Structure 1
Amino acid sequence: MASEVVIFDIVGCMGHFRKYYTNSSSLSYSVPTRTNLIGLVAGVMGYQRDSYYSELNSEKLQLALQKLTKTRKIIQSLNYMKITTKKHFTEPTEHTQIPFEIIMGEGDSLKYRVYLSHCDPTFLKEFEERIKNKKYFFPPYLGAAPFSCKLEYVNREKVEKVRVNDSVYISTVIPLDKVKHKGLDFKKLNFEYALVKEKMPRDFEGERVIKEVNSYLFDENCNPIPIVLDDSYYQVRGTNILYM
């Protein structure tokens, strides 16, 4: 496990993080999945489509995600056209309307913080320089190409590995396989929390086949969650994080 992380913020107006089990209605998570994030990282670094699943798997690339803004969801209908000839681009003959769920921030923007580490220091240094200088191979977006976003460099920080037996406040999305049975500390919760549990993909195999799915917990209102862990957590500048 690398001892440093590059911290950056993802900022945009809208996003769509498609649920892997959704059908024709395109439903969205409130936060990017780990597979969304590795796609964004791959775009920054210049990997071609479907070429990066091994290099950016969870054993080599560690990602923690912190939700910084409250979110809301709206539904729009999209016209999907059936294109079989060039003429159909200008004179479509068939189309289908699909409900499409969009994530928006409570204010003017949607914002997430990412803590990124990699087992290869050379990779980490190059990624940091690209984020700092905004030299991306491909433009970043929030889950779907229409939702472009900005990547704002925060810092590079040391990581401290910590293990305790009591409950601890975790600020990032929590993988539930790291949590003790009945580990959620309900005594420290209040009405400001809106906890959400989601099943999200963690890694891909070739041709975008899902390799692993995990359950995650986060608070829609961006509060750190008091929880008893079955494993170590990591501390960065006083913030407690867990990798997805």
Structure 2
Amino acid sequence: MELVNRLLIFDLKGPLGHFRKFYTNASSLTYAFPPRTVVTGLIAGLLGRELDAYYEEFGTDRCKVGISIQSAVKKIMQTVNYIRTKDNDGFGSFQGALKTFISRRLVSYPTLIEMVMPTENHKKITYRVYFSHSDDALMEELHARVKQGRFVYPPYLGLSELLAGVEFVAFIGKEHLRQISPKNLVELSSVCNLKIIEDLEFQEKYPSLQYVEEKMPLEFGKGREIRRHGNFLHEQKGRPVCAVLKTACLEIDYEGPDSIAECITFLE
């Protein structure tokens, strides 16, 4: 693992999320947490980047993204009604849409969609994002926007209807970042690529651990073509992944609501 110079840490929060699995069929299934492509898209939106124009800027060779699940989550299937809004159905203008609505000529399509939501012990689903970029100016701008809550496009959890809150946690330098050598047992706060795990440990202080594997995209190319994907491991209730790794990981410390020290890996 290449040691980064600076790390911006912030939380994403919301009542519901939907992060569509790229291999799903007509019934849209969701990941338990946002893939790297979703996080970079959200950050690009906060900075005002145009749709489909940021893939190279946020490639794995230029930026690092880690994520941890801060609250226990569960999935539910929900039926939603999609409304056909093509121009030839009267939705080409506001007046046309209004007439269509009044005349009750709406055509709806009931569709099953899977949602991520918090368990009974939490009010919102919460994800912690760890972000670093080789462009110092971009890092400074994103830091300022996250800290001030001043975004170009609003953040959301997978679907534009599922608005999210962004809360600044910390902005730390190299003195708060340390590399942990391979072959050591670590407790990872973040999700982890399955290919770098040599062995999993089950510890008594974390009873009934539920490790879940998710296959997800890592980065897009032109036309949203998936360049790379990986299999990632997370703990269902947001508890640490206790593992011996084949590669180095990153130990960080920072001041949030409390003084925090944790180990993370990036989505790569």
TM range (shorter): over 0.9
The amino acid of 1:36's aligned partner reads V
Is 1:3–1:160's contact at 8 Å kept on the other side of the alignment? no
State whether structure 2 residue 166 is matched by structure 1 residue 143.
no
Q: 1:162 to 1:77 in 2, by over 3 A?
A: same
Preserved contact between residue 192 and residue 221 of structure 1 (Cα < 8 Å):
no
Partner Cα separation in structure 1 for residue 13 and residue 60 of structure 2: 24
Aligned match of 1:28 = 30
CA shift for structure 1 position 177: 2.2
**What is the rounded CA distance, in whole Å, between the counterparts of 2:84 and 2:206 in structure 1?**
50
User: In the aligned structure 1, how far is the partner of 2:71 from the partner of 2:26?
Assistant: 28
Q: Is the alpha carbon distance of 1:133 and 1:190 closer, same or farther for their aligned partners in structure 2, counting shifts above 3 Å? A: closer
Rg: which structure is higher? 2
Contact 1:83 1:92 in 2 (8 A): no
Q: After TM superposition, give the deviation of residue 159 of structure 1 in Å.
A: 1.9
1:240 lines up with 2:263 in the alignment:
yes
| Residue number in structure 2 paired with 1:64 | 66
Per-residue deviation, 1:160: 1.5
- Normalised by the length of structure 1, the TM-score is 0.93
Counterparts of 1:49-198 in structure 2, within 5 Å, are: 49-84=51-86, 85-87=88-90, 89=97, 90=100, 91-92=104-105, 94-106=107-119, 107-157=122-172, 158-180=176-198, 183-186=199-202, 191-198=207-214
Q: Please say if residues 170 and 224 of structure 1, whose CA atoms lie closer than 8 Å, have aligned partners that are also in contact.
A: yes
Identity fraction in percent: 30
Consecutive unaligned residues in structure 2, runs of 5 or more: 92-96, 254-260
- The residue aligned with 1:5 is 7
TM-score scaled by length of structure 2: 0.85
Code of the aligned partner of 1:117: S
For residue 28 of structure 1, give the secondary structure of its aligned residue in structure 2. Answer: coil
Task: Give SS of 1:37's match.
Answer: helix
Counterpart Cα distance in 2 of 1:234 and 1:163: 9
Higher strand share: 1
Q: Is the 8 A contact 1:197 1:216 kept in 2?
A: yes
* Amino acid paired to 1:54: E
Contact 2:191 2:241 in 1 (8 A): no
Pairwise CA distance, 1:207: 1.5
CA distance in 2, matches of 1:224, 1:198: 16
Are 2:239 and 1:212 equivalent residues in the alignment? no
Instruction: Provide Cα deviations, 1:29-80, integer angstroms capped at 9, x if missing partner.
Output: 1111111101110011111100000000111110110100001122211223
> 2:155 aligns to what SS in structure 1?
coil
8 Å Cα contact 1:81-1:92 kept in structure 2: no
Paired with 1:174 and 1:92, the residues of 2 have a C-alpha distance of: 49
Per-residue CA distance 1:14-39 (angstroms, 9 max, x = gap): 11011111011011111111111011
CA distance in 1, matches of 2:203, 2:138: 42
CA distance in 1, matches of 2:36, 2:154: 18
Aligned residue among 41, 44, 47 for 1:45: 47
What is the identity, as a one-letter code, of the residue corresponding to 2:208? Answer: E
Unaligned runs of 5+ in 1: none
Is 2:183–2:247's contact at 8 Å kept on the other side of the alignment? no
Contact conserved, 1:82 with 1:92, CA < 8 A, in 2? no
